[in-house]
Amino acid sequence: MKYKDYYEILGVPKDATADVIKKAYRKLAHKYHPDVSKDPNGEEKFKDASEAYKTLKDPEARAAYDKLGSHRPGEDFQPPPDWGQQFGGGGGNFSFDDIDLSDLFAGLGGRGGGFRAGGQRGANFPIPGQDYEVTAPITVEDAYGGTELDLNLSVPEYDEHGRMHRVPLVFKARIPKGVTDGERLRLPGKGGKGVNGGANGNLYLTIAMQPHPLYRVTGHDLYLDLPLAPWEAALGASVEVPTLGGSVRLKVPAGTNTGQKLRLGKRGLPKRREGEGDLFAIVQIVVPPAPTDREKALFKDLAQASTFNPRASFPTGDGT
DSSP secondary structure of 123-149: ----BPPPPEEEEEEE-HHHHHH-EEE
User: Whole-angstrom Cα distance, residue 228 to residue 158?
Assistant: 61
- Looking at the chain, the domain(s) classified CATH 2.60.260.20 span 132-209, 216-305
> What gap in Å lies between CA 245 and CA 269, rounded to an integer?
10
pLDDT for 92-122, tens place per residue? Answer: 444 555 566 766 666 554 343 444 433 444 4
Class of domain 6-104: mainly alpha
Is the domain 216-305 a CATH 2.60.260.20 member? Answer: yes
pLDDT 10s digit of each residue in the chain, 320 long? 678 899 999 999 999 999 899 888 888 887 887 666 778 888 888 888 888 888 898 888 888 888 888 888 877 777 776 666 566 544 444 455 556 676 666 655 434 344 443 344 444 566 777 788 888 999 999 999 999 998 887 776 655 555 667 778 788 899 999 999 999 999 998 887 777 777 888 889 999 999 999 999 999 999 999 999 999 999 999 999 999 999 999 999 999 999 999 999 999 999 988 899 999 999 999 999 999 999 999 999 999 999 999 999 999 765 55
Rounded Cα–Cα distance for residues 203 and 188 (Å): 6
Which contacts (CB < 8 Å, 24+ apart) does range 238-247 have?
241/279, 241/281, 242/214, 243/267, 243/279, 244/140, 244/141, 244/144, 244/215, 244/269, 245/144
Note whether 167 and 180 are within 8 A (CB). Answer: no
- Which whole-number Å values give the CA distances from 235 to 207, 254, 257, in the listed order? 43, 5, 11
At 223, is the secondary structure helix, strand, or coil?
Answer: strand
Helix (H) or strand (E) holding 169: strand 164-175
Mention the CATH class of domain 132-209: mainly beta
pLDDT at 118: 39
- The residue ranges of DSSP E strands in 176-300, in sequence order, are 184-187, 203-209, 216-218, 221-228, 237-241, 248-252, 261-264, 279-285
Where in the chain is CATH 1.10.287.110? 6-104
pTM for the model stands at: 0.61
How far apart (Å, rounded) are the C-alpha atoms in residues 227 and 134? 38
